[in-house]
Amino acid sequence: MSAPFGFQIIIYLFLAGIAAGSAMVASLMLHRSAPDAFAVGKRSLILSIFAIGFGVLFLVADLANPSEFFLILTKANPTSAIAWGARIVTSFSLVAIFCWTLYRGKSTGSATSAEFAALWVLRLLALALAIYPGFVLMQGKAMALWNTWIIVPLIALSGVRAGFAASSLLSGTREAWSLNRRAGEKVLLVILGLLLVSLLVVAKAFSLLAILALLTSVLIPFALLDRAAGALASLSILVGSFVLRAWLITDGQSLFF
């Protein structure tokens, strides 16, 4: 019997997290008047659009019939987390593109009330995009690793954190590094706590991927935050986000370990 979620889903979850986090960065920066901050916001919005666009390609590729995505979007059970996920992804993509049409010709963040409202809608949809995959896995009920509320904040926080890291890496400005660092320590500590509970209480086992997830998603980035290694810290956070998802999907289905 084949596993319901394959490697394409791991990549999708990784890219969706980056899309959610970078969209949040964009929503925070695009209304600011400082040119550097506004530039970070525009780059983050572009990153978000590309990340969710490529992510959807991997999501659809995982389906036996790509047209099933549109059936899920329009006719699926309203209580299904997968159905709501399809609607969230579609709404998020459309609003992100709409925000880009509003801001692409601007050079500073002098937002009108309508533009400011669009950024708030984008921020809320980004939050939904970060959260819903955890509920999808909870409905899968493959193993105890998924059958717990812990997986929702674990996936959401690590994804948003990866989006912040990707935005800072893409922008490379002092404003971006500062935002990335401010979002760093407390979030990493929360992720560390959730990971330890998942490993010690829920999974009750340490696979190779679990150990790699702990190292790359929390311990190495935390060690690099206080050093002059912004790009390296961001790269380690991105690698850790991917490994964390690989662990959750593969160990959750007992594919390899």
Given a cut of 80, is residue 185 above it in pLDDT? no
Tell me whether residue 1 is in a domain.
no
Give pLDDT, residue 65. Answer: 67
Tell me whether residue 149 is in a domain.
yes
Tell me whether residue 68 is in a domain.
yes
pLDDT 10s digits, 116-138: 899 999 999 999 999 999 888 88
Name the percent of the chain in helix, strand, coil, to the closest 5: 80, 0, 20
CA distance 12 to 245: 10
Domain count, the chain: 1
Give pLDDT, residue 255. Answer: 44
The rounded percent of the chain whose pLDDT value lies above 70 is 77
Tell me whether residue 177 is in a domain.
yes
Given a cut of 60, is residue 142 above it in pLDDT? no
CA distance 240 to 257: 19
The rounded percent of the chain whose pLDDT value lies above 90 is 27
DSSP alpha helices (H): ranges in 30-112?
35-62, 68-75, 81-103
CA distance 5 to 182: 34
- For 157, which DSSP code? H
Categorize the per-residue pLDDT at 256 as very low, low, confident or very high, splitting at 50, 70 and 90: very low
Given a cut of 70, is residue 27 above it in pLDDT? yes
Calculate mean pLDDT across residues 144-155: 80
Tell me whether residue 151 is in a domain.
yes
CATH number of the domain that 104 lies in? Answer: 1.20.1630.10
In terms of pLDDT, which residue wins out, 140 or 244? Answer: 244
Given a cut of 60, is residue 44 above it in pLDDT? yes
Calculate mean pLDDT across residues 99-111: 79
Tell me whether residue 2 is in a domain.
no
The overall longest dimension of the chain from CA atoms, in Å, is 56
What's the pTM? 0.86
Tell me whether residue 110 is in a domain.
yes
In terms of pLDDT, which residue wins out, 1 or 102? Answer: 102
Give pLDDT, residue 214. Answer: 80
pLDDT 10s digits, 50-89: 999 999 999 888 776 666 666 666 666 767 777 888 889 9
Its domain, for residue 56, covers 7-253
Tell me whether residue 205 is in a domain.
yes
Residue 173 tokens, joined: 């400005």
Which range of 42-46, 71-75, 169-173 scores highest in mean pLDDT? It is 42-46
Given a cut of 60, is residue 7 above it in pLDDT? yes
Which range of 36-50, 105-119, 164-178 scores highest in mean pLDDT? It is 36-50
3-state SS, 165-211, equals: HHHHHHHCCHHHHHHHHHCCHHHHHHHHHHHHHHHHHHHCCCCHHHH
Calculate mean pLDDT across residues 7-15: 92
